[in-house]
Amino acid sequence: MKLLQKEAKLFPVRVSVDIDEETMKEVMALTGETQKSPALAKAIVEFTYRRKAMEFGRLIREGAFDYPDPTADGGDGSDPTNPIPPLTQG
């Protein structure tokens, strides 16, 4: 089964940045890119994904996504106010 993914729409933005040569070489080595612009672009995207993942993990640990225990009502876990049925063991 193929997962659905949003198709990336790239709208390139050109910027000038001051990065020392040693750091630039490291970025290129870590990303596997041989040119500076693609290496920086890849590093920025990966950095952004990691920060978002860290934030999501923090929210999970803090209970931001805690939902009521479907078995807490003592019944079969069904809850008429919850549109998502409980998982069945099978």
Whether this model's pTM surpasses 0.75? no
- Contact partners, residue 38, CB within 8 Å, separation at least 6: 31
pLDDT confidence bin for 13, thresholds 50/70/90: confident
Note whether residue 42 is domain-resident. Answer: yes
Range of the domain at 39: 35-63
- Contact partners, residue 17, CB within 8 Å, separation at least 6: 40
DSSP character string of the chain: -PPP-PPP------------HHHHHHHHHHHT-SSHHHHHHHHHHHHHHHHHHHHHHHHHHTTTT----TTTTSSSS--TT-SSPPP---
Note whether residue 22 is domain-resident. Answer: no
- Smallest CA-to-CA distance from 80 within 65, 70, 90 is with 70
Overall number of domains in the chain: 1
- Higher per-residue confidence, 7 vs 35: 35
pLDDT digits (tens, 9 = 90+) for 22-71: 999 999 999 999 999 999 999 999 999 999 999 999 988 888 877 666 56
pLDDT of res. 14: 85
pLDDT confidence bin for 1, thresholds 50/70/90: very low
Note whether residue 48 is domain-resident. Answer: yes
Note whether residue 12 is domain-resident. Answer: no
